[in-house]
Structure 1
Amino acid sequence: MAQKEYTLNELIQESAENPNENDFFELEKPAMLEVNLKNQKILAKAGSMVAYIGNIDFKREGLLSKGLGGLLKKAISGEGTSLMHATGTGKLYLADEGKKVKIIKLQNEAVFVNGNDVLALEENIKNEIKMLKSIAGMMSGGLFQVKLSGSGYIAITTHGEPILLRVTGNQAVYTDPNATVAWSENLTPNIKTNLTFGSFIGRGSGESFQLEFFGEGWVLVQPYEEVKYAAKS
């Protein structure tokens, strides 16, 4: 087996973007989204731009704006994370703390996504703020998520490679809220408490209650507990 040289040319060849790929949303690297704008506008998580080529303008959403920006203000650590508009022509590169990027092309469909895991979406994708009210008394501010619907591209992020679990009429799925990334439109999670287990683990969030999914659909779970909420004492 030939010894790897680790030369500068190897770095250039391995890391260079592929000029032959020009889809609107494309996965340039596992943790980097490339958006090919042609006099178009998208919405992206504020602060996710790492580079761009061409003529692209950015406008940050106000913290109290409606839609997804309002969700992100409330849902992500309570610190007011918001969205930004990116408009123009060129190549835009987006990333979020090294998390893996997953591209989904909705075709008159809908999906629920944890607010913190939304990276980008086409301007025409409808977004609605939803809250699991049954959790409001257990988690600070409740649990918010976004319903993304319509036709077009969205990009979400996960810590590591996620697993998709099928929910059937004969088999419910239970997940840690902090590890739950997304789920299908027709599912509505309930809350299941397990205070004894939570006390044994010794954590203030997560294991003391789980999301309980019944019906027909799927749930996407990441191998990481992304704690964004503080449990009420």
Structure 2
Amino acid sequence: MSKYSIKEFIEATEVEEQKDEYFQLETPRILEVNLKEMVWAKLGSMVSYTGDIKFERERLLEHGTSRMFKKAFTSEGGTLMKATGEGQLHLADKGKRVTILELNDDIIAVNSNDLLAFEPSIEWDIKMMRRVAGMMSNGLFYVVLQGKGLVAITSHYEPLTLKVQENLPVMTDPTTTVAWSGNLEPNIRTDINYRTFLGRGSGESFQMEFEGNGFVIVQSAEE
């Protein structure tokens, strides 16, 4: 249907009645958080809210000096904001598709650009793939999350999950890699030679290589 009356448009797009789920998808690209206390979310991801909610940018020393130094050297270290209070909060990130994952004592690593929100019960830390430093944005930063609770990640269009098996490694483009199972330690494969510097390379000069048993999630557009 391409044309709506005002009434029809409101009925088709209005917010659903509040449910008990802490995280739920209001649309495929908008996350609704039924906030009762606190949630961590990507800085700048708030679309709208109702109720009494306050927002505070994550402070450098909020999680100790170790994370402070990681965040001081990069603008891509997973900058977060803390939303506290009660109400309905809607989050989104540049129209990217939202996926809700439930961790049950699991560990998952997420590219810092693709982490939208997570429950305060989740433990997390920032990591950097140092071998990528100097090749892209001073390195590839990602966030390792573990414990019990909900995590919301984003992807350009529908995500694709690839199984990683023994003797069958998976290679991905770092700019399209969204997340991977926390037991995997990605390596960097490089294919840089004089043709790369002359601008005659394939454009895929380095890749992430995943070995072992687990999964990796990719998206169809570069970050």
Please indicate the TM-score interval, normalised by the length of the shorter structure.
Answer: 0.7 to 0.9
Structure 2 equivalent of residue 136 of structure 1: 133
Q: How does 1:137-176 map to 2 (within 5 A)?
A: 137-176=134-173
Q: What number of residue pairs does the alignment pair up?
A: 218
Is the 2:108–2:145 Cα contact (8 Å) retained in structure 1?
A: yes
Is the 1:69–1:82 Cα contact (8 Å) retained in structure 2?
A: no
Structure 2 equivalent of residue 14 of structure 1: 12
1:9 shift after superposition: 1.9
Counterpart residue identity of residue 209, structure 1: F
1:182 aligns with 2:171: no
Secondary structure of the corresponding residue to residue 62 of structure 1:
coil
Counterpart residue identity of residue 6, structure 2: L
Structure 1 equivalent of residue 57 of structure 2: 60
1:172 shift after superposition: 1.0
Counterpart residue identity of residue 116, structure 1: N
Q: How does 1:2-81 map to 2 (within 5 A)?
A: 5-19=3-17, 21-38=19-36, 40-63=37-60, 65-66=62-63, 74-76=73-75
Provide the C-alpha distance between the structure 1 equivalents of 2:57 and 2:110, rounded to a whole number of angstroms: 21
Provide the C-alpha distance between the structure 2 equivalents of 1:41 and 1:150, rounded to a whole number of angstroms: 17
TM-score when normalising by structure 2: 0.88
Secondary structure of the corresponding residue to residue 113 of structure 2:
helix
Counterpart residue identity of residue 44, structure 1: A
1:18 shift after superposition: 1.3
1:23 shift after superposition: 0.6
Provide the C-alpha distance between the structure 2 equivalents of 1:19 and 1:70, rounded to a whole number of angstroms: 43
Residues 1:144 and 1:41: Cα distance change in structure 2 (over 3 Å): same
Unaligned runs of 5+ in 2: none
More deviation in 3-12 or 53-62?
3-12
Structure 2 equivalent of residue 115 of structure 1: 112
- TM-align CA RMSD: 2.4
Structure 2 equivalent of residue 200 of structure 1: 200
Provide the C-alpha distance between the structure 2 equivalents of 1:118 and 1:187, rounded to a whole number of angstroms: 18
1:35 shift after superposition: 0.3
